[in-house]
């Protein structure tokens, strides 16, 4: 600062001016004092550090040596170590230093001194040695030593490549920091020549992470010039690249140059502002630069880059000397490299969002600065093996070729592909092959923005055709790109398109698009989009955006609409404008539902209500089966899914889902409840409300559902042969919503019997009105549906011919009430029939059937209590009991799997067995699946019956009667009817069979009952004086045939036992026969047909007095003949005729018996003729032979039958003449009670 003295012209000095000048000067002095104190303190600290460092040099010698080895990666040797204070702080000086490869690989450097500058600040913080810089003073560097002595090498191999490799290893080991060289020499080995020695004037190398900075000044030999100054700044690893340069100079001018390059990790800053760095992963090749006149040509051959390419890159560039023009041609440039170059010049282009693969052939450019702006650069290229993919490679289009041409930043791309492939990486990868692609794109990059436009983009294959046009552009303000596009698609596979678009694109259509498309075809589709492209937002979200389209879907299948069934064969038209979507469905199939028509509207953002209207037709049975499989829908009509409904129905469905507050962002658990209306139109369906009840047929009406509830509905149909009206509704019952079905109708008794499993025997007839109420209650947690039924009828109009307590006339009311309540597995039934019957039954469900676990039936007006054990009891008194019917019913009930063991204790005022009745009978019976027993007691009938589980010929039922009084002959056959009720085979035994008050003895028989008739075999009647055997075969619609034999030891007693007059006595008698009669008629004398054979031995005809009582056996004839000969015995006493043999043959037909009889005794009597079995009369001719008229012995040997005797008499009359004829022929006529005998003349 220059200071001038004051002069008089300056004027007087202001008062206090001196004091003001003194105050600043005092402050300056204080500042100087403070600064001097601080410097002194720092000096003291530094001096202290210096003293400490100097004092501990011997201790830190090894640490400093290790520190140099760690930083340089080289072994270090030295003679002396000193410490000094340098300009930047303490320094460690190594004297007479030698540096070499680790492990004794040779000496690379010798220097008189190596100075290590220590970082004082870092040492104070960490307490450890830290290197700030390393300085080599006058080093002698021999790079050939390190190259020649590397492992496996010889010195003769040292050359250019090995020197570069050695240098690369040195730099790679260096950890970073700063190295300086002050003076020295560098020896560079030359192949086949002496090493090149270069003087080092100064060198400095610095490294901070990946940032390298080098500045070198060399003194060159005279042959190369004077000096070389090299300055380099770079990022990366300098140890991963080599450069070989051969240059030729003349007169200080470069004439030509060539060389080789091998580099990795190259990067250049782009020429444009904010451009990305241009990086090349690997570069290798030969190059050549030569002057051609006033221009330069750069050629590169066999260039290899890190990008995959089918061939090496070759290039040639011609540049004018004034740099005003340049032309070039490049072959086989990898497309990723070309795209990187484009991004470096035009960073605004969206090429960074694409992954491009391929090769650019015949790439040429022509740049001329003299052309108008915007037309200076002209380019063209042919792109082959082109593939375009998204950056994530989710979509890849391959198999393309293209022709590229451009002027400055405006490019035109003609894209072609005959067999292109489109690959999409999704959860299930998708590939489209055989695509034909034809497109032209125009790309412009101007004013910081860009625009991509196409008017003709076509992609097709036999099952797909796509055409698109539009513009995609972005301005230079950094905003989102804008699109204006139109896309048309025809005859495409809808599933394939959905997979290509992915779930993100389908989500634009809203929640309804979450359905999984399994089949379908897009007949045609049209899409228009104008607006901002923002992948994070919906395409219509920006203001002024237009996103609309439509497509026709044919024969599609949609799933994923749980719990609703999958939609199949769907034909629909879908269109949208922004988030609003409308679908019109013409036809489809949803499980068992046929979709006759539907429409749907929804908002993809959920900001507006969703509305669905549909008409479906379906078969009710599979629809209910589907409803049972989706119990979560039962809230719409509790219990209706458990009804058995069959037939065709029509459903009109209307669903409205209100918009959620906050749109699609609302949480799912706060989603609004949909409002649903469903009308189910029933037309002729069949309803089985409860398992076990007969169905209601021809059901008509409409079931309405609204708001998740069944509305009161009216139905009508036919049930049990009469009309029925139903009212279906919901009501609250025990705090739960119940489904009720109230019914009223008229039932036909015959239909009710058939529905109950009874036979159509016309025991009940008429019609009865009834009312019923069915209530279906939803089950509690873990339990199934509960229901109850109450039905009432007064049975007016029903006539019953059933025995008590079920008999009634048509006009007499008999109240009937049935109450049944059940849950999923158990239930209870209560039944009341006027004052006559009460029943209580516990039920258990097994599958679709209900079984009676236990129960009680009382034939009284008091309700019984349930038994403790699993049995169904029947108790009470009846006025009349039909025993065969009871046996059949009892056995049938025992076989019923729905019933438990049966037990009965009954009393009846009258027991009926066929037409025979017995008074005051008590019956006890038991039955179980293993069989059953029955016992009865009465004055005229006592016995038991038992049967096994399966009745057959090997295991017949057993019927045993201790006594049976059969007033008529057919009453015994009714016992067979009793046995028939027990099954197909029965063994009948009667200890004492009485007929008209006479005991016939014991009866045993085997009875077999077939579907077309029955058989009686092994029948045996054992009396006091007789033994009978026989068999019987009856065929339904045919005849009954009987064969029998009777052997008697006292003929008179046998006749008396069977009610005949004992007009004849014999010590031995036998009667055999074969009889037949129509099965439909009762066996009687009028219907009998067949033959009988009778033989009696050693007997006598009885006197009239001895033969009183009973009816005559007219077939014997001899007693009637003797009775008619009263003229010969005026006293009326029948003569007693002894005989040794009486034989007779009879043919029975039409109530007549043809007789051939031979009586051989006191007289020989031959009888031929007819006996009227119905008229009780005789018309017979008899011959009585005595003395010489008797048959000769020779004739008797032929057989003493009536026929033989008649032949003999005819021959004798023929040859004897009229004189020898005797008057021996008699005629028997009259009735059985008044026979008449006259002469046969």
Confidence (pLDDT) at 704:
82
In degrees to the nearest 10, what's the CA dihedral of 295, 298, 299, 302? 180
Average pLDDT over residues 265-277: 60
pLDDT higher than threshold 60 for residue 509: yes
pLDDT tens, residue by residue, 186-208 = 887 776 677 878 888 888 888 77
Alpha helices (H) along 56-202: 57-72, 120-126, 143-148, 160-173
State the Cα–Cα distance between residues 465 and 756, nearest whole angstrom.
Answer: 67
Confidence (pLDDT) at 204:
87
Average pLDDT over residues 296-324: 77
1240 compared with 1113, residue with greater pLDDT:
1113
pLDDT higher than threshold 90 for residue 1045: yes
- CB neighbours (10 Å) of residue 222? 6
Confidence (pLDDT) at 5:
36
pLDDT higher than threshold 90 for residue 1093: yes
Confidence (pLDDT) at 564:
66
Say how far residue 714 (Cα) sits from the centre of its chain.
37
Categorize the per-residue pLDDT at 1049 as very low, low, confident or very high, splitting at 50, 70 and 90: very high
Residues ≥6 apart with Cβ < 8 Å to 378: 365, 366, 367, 406, 407
Average pLDDT over residues 102-125: 80
Going by C-alpha positions, the residue among 453, 509, 458 that lies closest to residue 485 is 453
Q: Considering Cα of 589, then 594, then 597, then 599, what sign does the dihedral take?
A: negative
State the Cα–Cα distance between residues 614 and 651, nearest whole angstrom.
Answer: 8
Cite the beta strand spans of 494-605 per DSSP E: 516-532, 546-559, 567-577, 580-590, 593-603
Confidence (pLDDT) at 1044:
93
Categorize the per-residue pLDDT at 1083 as very low, low, confident or very high, splitting at 50, 70 and 90: low
Cα-atom radius of gyration of the chain, to the nearest Å? 65
pLDDT tens, residue by residue, 858-896 = 988 888 999 999 999 999 988 888 887 778 778 777 777
The 3-state DSSP class for residue 1203 equals helix
The 3-state DSSP class for residue 764 equals strand
- CA distances for 751 relative to 380, 720, 804, 885, angstroms: 96, 5, 22, 21
Average pLDDT over residues 1043-1065: 89
State the Cα–Cα distance between residues 394 and 392, nearest whole angstrom.
Answer: 5
- CB neighbours (10 Å) of residue 476? 12
Percent of the chain scoring above 70 in pLDDT: 76
Determine which of 165-174, 583-592, 732-741, 1118-1127 has the lowest per-residue pLDDT on average: 165-174
Determine which of 450-454, 683-687, 1223-1227 has the lowest per-residue pLDDT on average: 1223-1227
685 compared with 1045, residue with greater pLDDT:
1045
State the Cα–Cα distance between residues 117 and 478, nearest whole angstrom.
Answer: 50
The 3-state DSSP class for residue 184 equals coil
Residue 168, both tokens: 């690369």
Categorize the per-residue pLDDT at 166 as very low, low, confident or very high, splitting at 50, 70 and 90: low
pLDDT tens, residue by residue, 80-113 = 888 888 777 788 888 999 888 777 667 888 999 9
Confidence (pLDDT) at 1201:
60
Average pLDDT over residues 118-125: 76
Categorize the per-residue pLDDT at 1240 as very low, low, confident or very high, splitting at 50, 70 and 90: low
Confidence (pLDDT) at 18:
46
66 compared with 767, residue with greater pLDDT:
767
Determine which of 31-45, 251-265, 627-641, 669-683 has the lowest per-residue pLDDT on average: 627-641
Confidence (pLDDT) at 967:
63
Look at the block and give the residue holding tokens 């066929």: 914
pLDDT higher than threshold 60 for residue 970: no
State the Cα–Cα distance between residues 1157 and 1143, nearest whole angstrom.
Answer: 6
Average pLDDT over residues 724-739: 84
Confidence (pLDDT) at 15:
41
pLDDT tens, residue by residue, 227-247 = 777 777 776 555 455 666 676
pLDDT higher than threshold 70 for residue 118: yes
Residue 1138 β-bridge partners = 1100
Average pLDDT over residues 837-859: 87
- CA distances for 91 relative to 39, 126, 563, 796, angstroms: 21, 18, 84, 132
Provide the mean pLDDT of the chain: 78
Residues ≥6 apart with Cβ < 8 Å to 455: 440, 469
Determine which of 104-108, 420-424, 496-500, 654-658 has the lowest per-residue pLDDT on average: 104-108
Confidence (pLDDT) at 840:
94
Categorize the per-residue pLDDT at 156 as very low, low, confident or very high, splitting at 50, 70 and 90: very low
Whether the CB-CB separation of 548 and 576 falls below 8 Å is answered with: yes
pLDDT tens, residue by residue, 742-766 = 999 999 888 887 776 666 666 788 8
Whether the CB-CB separation of 300 and 260 falls below 8 Å is answered with: no
Q: Locate the domains of the chain by residue range.
A: 49-239, 494-608, 869-1022, 1035-1239
Average pLDDT over residues 972-980: 56
pLDDT higher than threshold 90 for residue 725: yes
State the Cα–Cα distance between residues 1155 and 1177, nearest whole angstrom.
Answer: 13
Determine which of 111-115, 839-843, 1161-1165, 1219-1223 has the lowest per-residue pLDDT on average: 1219-1223
In degrees to the nearest 10, what's the CA dihedral of 76, 80, 85, 86? -50
Burial class (CB in 10 A: 0-12, 13-18, 19+), 1229: middle
pLDDT higher than threshold 90 for residue 512: no
Residues ≥6 apart with Cβ < 8 Å to 45: none
The 3-state DSSP class for residue 636 equals helix
- CA distances for 352 relative to 276, 425, 532, angstroms: 10, 20, 19
Categorize the per-residue pLDDT at 1097 as very low, low, confident or very high, splitting at 50, 70 and 90: very high
Cite the beta strand spans of 562-712 per DSSP E: 567-577, 580-590, 593-603, 610-619, 644-646, 648-657, 675-688, 696-706, 709-711
State the Cα–Cα distance between residues 842 and 771, nearest whole angstrom.
Answer: 24
pTM: 0.52
Confidence (pLDDT) at 1134:
52
- CB neighbours (10 Å) of residue 287? 18
State the Cα–Cα distance between residues 1089 and 880, nearest whole angstrom.
Answer: 38
Confidence (pLDDT) at 819:
92
Task: Give kind and range of the element (H or E) at residue 1215.
Answer: helix 1202-1216
């Amino acid at each position: 600062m220059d200071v001038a003295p004051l002069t008089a012209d300056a004027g007087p000095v202001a008062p206090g001016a001196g004091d003001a000048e003194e105050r600043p000067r005092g402050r300056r002095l204080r500042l100087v004092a403070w600064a001097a104190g601080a410097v002194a303190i720092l000096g003291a600290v530094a001096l202290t550090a210096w003293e400490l460092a100097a004092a501990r040099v011997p201790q830190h010698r090894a640490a400093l040596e290790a520190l140099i080895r760690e930083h340089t990666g080289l072994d270090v040797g030295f003679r002396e170590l000193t410490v000094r204070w340098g300009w930047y702080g303490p320094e460690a000086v190594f004297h007479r230093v030698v540096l070499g490869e680790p492990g004794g690989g040779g000496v690379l450097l010798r220097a008189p001194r190596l100075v290590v500058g220590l970082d004082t600040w870092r040492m104070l913080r960490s307490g450890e040695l830290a290197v700030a810089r390393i300085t080599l003073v006058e080093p002698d560097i021999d790079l050939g030593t390190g190259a020649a002595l590397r492992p496996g090498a010889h010195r003769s191999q040292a050359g250019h490549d090995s020197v570069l490799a050695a240098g690369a290893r040195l730099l790679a080991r260096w950890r970073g920091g700063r190295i300086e060289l002050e003076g020295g020499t560098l020896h560079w080995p030359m192949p086949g020549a002496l090493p090149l020695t270069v003087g080092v004037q100064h060198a400095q190398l610095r490294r901070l992470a990946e940032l390298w900075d080098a500045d070198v000044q060399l003194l060159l030999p005279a042959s190369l010039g004077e000096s070389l100054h090299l300055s380099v700044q770079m990022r990366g690893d300098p140890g991963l690249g080599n450069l070989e340069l051969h240059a030729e100079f003349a007169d200080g001018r470069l004439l030509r140059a060539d060389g080789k390059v091998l580099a990795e990790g190259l990067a250049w800053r782009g020429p444009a502002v904010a451009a990305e760095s241009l990086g090349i992963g690997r570069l290798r090749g030969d190059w050549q630069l030569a002057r051609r006149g006033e221009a330069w040509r750069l050629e590169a051959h066999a260039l290899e880059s890190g990008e995959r390419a089918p061939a090496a890159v070759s290039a040639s560039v011609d540049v004018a000397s004034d740099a005003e023009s340049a032309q070039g041609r490049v072959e086989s440039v990898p497309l990723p490299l070309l795209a990187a170059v484009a991004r470096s010049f035009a960073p605004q282009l969206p090429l960074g969002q694409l992954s491009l693969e391929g090769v650019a052939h015949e790439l040429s450019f022509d740049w001329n600065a003299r052309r108008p702006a915007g037309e200076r650069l002209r380019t063209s290229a042919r792109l082959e093996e082109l593939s375009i993919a998204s950056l994530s490679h989710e979509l890849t289009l391959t198999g393309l070729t293209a022709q590229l041409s451009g002027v400055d930043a405006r490019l035109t791309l003609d894209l072609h592909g005959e067999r292109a492939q489109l690959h999409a990486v999704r959860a299930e990868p998708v590939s489209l092959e055989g695509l034909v692609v034809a497109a032209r794109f125009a790309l412009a990059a101007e004013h910081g923005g860009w625009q991509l436009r196409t008017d003709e983009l076509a992609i097709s294959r036999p099952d797909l055709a796509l055409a698109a046009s539009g513009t995609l552009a972005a301005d230079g303000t950094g905003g989102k790109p804008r699109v204006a596009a139109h896309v048309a698609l025809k005859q495409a596979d809808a599933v394939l398109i959905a997979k290509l678009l992915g779930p993100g694109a389908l989500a634009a259509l809203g929640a309804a698009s979450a359905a999984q498309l399994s089949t379908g075809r897009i007949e045609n589709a049209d899409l228009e989009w104008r607006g901002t492209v923002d992948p994070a937002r919906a395409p219509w979200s920006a203001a002024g955006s237009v996103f609309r389209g439509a497509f026709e879907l044919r024969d599609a299948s949609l799933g994923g609409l749980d719990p609703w069934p999958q939609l199949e064969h769907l034909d629909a038209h879908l269109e949208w404008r922004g988030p609003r979507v409308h679908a019109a469905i013409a036809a489809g199939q949803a499980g068992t539902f046929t979709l006759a028509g539907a429409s749907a509207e929804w908002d993809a953002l959920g900001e507006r209500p969703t509305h669905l209207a549909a008409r479906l037709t379906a078969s009710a049975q599979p629809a209910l089966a589907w409803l049972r499989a989706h119990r979560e829908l039962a809230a719409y009509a509790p219990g209706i899914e458990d009804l058995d409904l069959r037939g065709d129905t029509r459903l009109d469905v209307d669903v409205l889902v209100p918009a959620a507050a906050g749109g699609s962002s609302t949480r799912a658990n706060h989603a609004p409840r949909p409002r649903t209306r469903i009308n189910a139109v029933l037309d002729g369906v069949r309803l089985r409300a409860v398992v076990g009840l007969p169905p209601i047929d021809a059901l008509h009406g409409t079931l309405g559902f609204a708001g998740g509830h069944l509305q009161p509905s009216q139905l009508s149909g036919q049930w049990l042969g009469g009309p029925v009206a139903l009212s279906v509704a919901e009501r609250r019952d025990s705090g739960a919503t119940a489904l009720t079905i109230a019914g009223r109708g008229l039932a036909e008794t015959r239909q009710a019997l058939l529905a109950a499993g009874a036979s159509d025997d016309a025991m009940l007839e008429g019609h009865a009105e009834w009312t019923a109420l069915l209530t279906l209650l939803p089950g509690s947690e873990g339990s199934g549906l509960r229901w109850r039924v109450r039905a009432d009828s007064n049975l007016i109009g029903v006539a019953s011919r059933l025995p008590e307590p079920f008999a009634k006339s048509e006009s007499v009311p008999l109240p009937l009430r049935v109450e049944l309540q059940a849950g999923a597995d158990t239930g209870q039934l209560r039944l009341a029939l006027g004052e006559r019957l009460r029943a209580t039954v516990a039920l258990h469900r097994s599958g679709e059937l209900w079984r009676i676990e236990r129960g009680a039936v009382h034939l009284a007006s008091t309700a019984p209590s349930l038994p403790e054990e699993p049995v169904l009891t029947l108790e009470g008194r009846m006025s009349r009991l039909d025993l065969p019917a009871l046996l059949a019913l009892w056995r049938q009930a025992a076989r019923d799997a729905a019933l438990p063991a049966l037990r009965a204790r009954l009393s009846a005022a009258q027991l009926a067995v066929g037409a025979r009745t017995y008074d005051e009978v008590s019956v006890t019976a038991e039955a179980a699946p293993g069989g059953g027993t029955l016992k009865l007691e009465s004055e005229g009938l006592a016995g038991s019956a038992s049967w096994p589980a399966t009745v057959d010929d090997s295991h017949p039922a057993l019927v045993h009667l201790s006594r049976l009084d059969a007033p008529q002959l057919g009453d015994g056959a009714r016992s067979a009817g009793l046995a028939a009720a027990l099954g197909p085979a029965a063994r009948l035994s009667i200890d004492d069979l009485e007929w008209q008050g006479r005991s016939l003895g014991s009866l045993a028989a085997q009875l077999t009952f077939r579907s077309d008739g029955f058989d009686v075999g092994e029948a045996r009647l054992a009396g006091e004086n007789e033994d009978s055997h026989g068999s019987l075969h009856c065929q339904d619609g045919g005849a009954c045939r009987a064969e029998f034999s009777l052997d008697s030891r006292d003929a008179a007693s046998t006749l008396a036992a069977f009610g005949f007059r004992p007009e004849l006595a014999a010590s031995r008698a036998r009667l055999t026969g074969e009889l037949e009669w129509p099965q439909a008629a009762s066996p009687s004398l009028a219907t009998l047909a067949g033959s009988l054979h009778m033989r009696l031995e050693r007997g006598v005809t009885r006197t009239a007095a001895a033969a009183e009582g009973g009816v005559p056996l007219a077939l014997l004839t001899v007693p009637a003949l003797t009775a008619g000969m009263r003229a010969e015995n005026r006293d009326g006493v029948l003569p007693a005729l002894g005989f040794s043999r009486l034989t007779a043959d009879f043919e029975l037909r039409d109530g007549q018996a043809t007789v051939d009889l031979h009586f051989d005794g006191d007289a020989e009597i031959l009888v031929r003729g007819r006996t009227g079995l119905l008229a009780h009369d005789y018309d017979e001719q008899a011959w009585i032979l005595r003395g010489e008229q008797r048959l000769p012995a020779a004739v008797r040997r032929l057989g003493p039958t009536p026929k033989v005797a008649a032949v003999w008499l005819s021959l004798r009359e023929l040859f004897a003449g009229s004189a020898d004829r005797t008057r021996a022929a008699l005629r028997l006529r009259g009735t059985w009670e008044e026979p008449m005998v006259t002469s046969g003349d």
